[in-house]
Structure 1
């Protein structure tokens, strides 16, 4: 099969031959790779027909295949973008629910803290009343002990 092709056949031509003519390789000339690619214009039919369906009938399957490939890639990108947006939306919703739960918990803790402070104040007031009453009872006991001592001394003299 290869023997049927002539050495001058364009299918066998080297696309890099222009870069190697001066003895340089593409690695020696990085601008070869960095240079902008020439813009190619679509080839039109030279038959004089204005029917666009007749132009490049042979290239249509390739362009349809490449369009399908691009379409598939674009569809995958679109689906991934939609999926990412949905995932981000769910993440924001979770974060919002979490923050709302934290706010509710904060409010509950504030209410509980207020109630505990109120109970603490009540207990401190009660403790002060008991301490005051205890001091009063001690002083009354001291007075009663003195009266008893005086009465005992009075009885001892009689």
Structure 2
């Protein structure tokens, strides 16, 4: 007998089931593609936001670097002034020690002479008394 099986291409029920499956698969694929596009769009938006945040961070860091650079330059300038003042004071101390030596020769007394440091930056200073700029303005 020539009864049609459901798998037969000639069976209208099979054709409608196949068409329904194709339609559902197509709808599912479209939905999947839509979700994929939405994910990619969200990822792109997230990356754009991250770039914006990172650019802002870079701007802030650059400002901090500029401030630190200015402070460094100011300190370097102040250090240069202090080095010059320390050299001048060392020269004055040498001159005063020469005067003390002359006084010792004339008077015959042994006077205490301050030691002249080899490196003015290693002058021992009491921590309780900070060095004031006015101390160097002689």
**What TM bracket, shorter-length normalisation?**
0.5 to 0.7
- For structure 2, the residue ranges without an aligned partner over 5 or more in a row are 5-9, 109-138
- Aligned counterpart, 1:99: 51
Normalised by the size of structure 1, how large is the TM-score? Answer: 0.59
- 1:1-158 alignment runs, 5 A limit: 5=1, 59=12, 61-156=13-108
- What is the distance in 2 between the residues matched to 1:138 and 1:72? 95
CA RMSD, aligned part only? 2.3
Cα distance in structure 1, aligned partners of 2:42 and 2:105: 92
Query: How many equivalent pairs are there?
Result: 104
* Bigger radius of gyration: 1
Gaps of 5+ in 1: 12-55
Aligned twin of 2:120: none
4+ aligned runs moved over 6 Å, structure 1 = none
User: Residue 127 of structure 2 corresponds to which residue in structure 1?
Assistant: none
Q: Distance in 2 between matches of 1:83 and 1:90?
A: 10
Distance 1:69 1:92, change over 3 A: same
User: Offset of 1:67 from its aligned partner?
Assistant: 2.1
Mapped partners of 1:85, 1:129: distance in 2 = 65
- C-alpha deviation, 1:143, in angstroms: 0.5
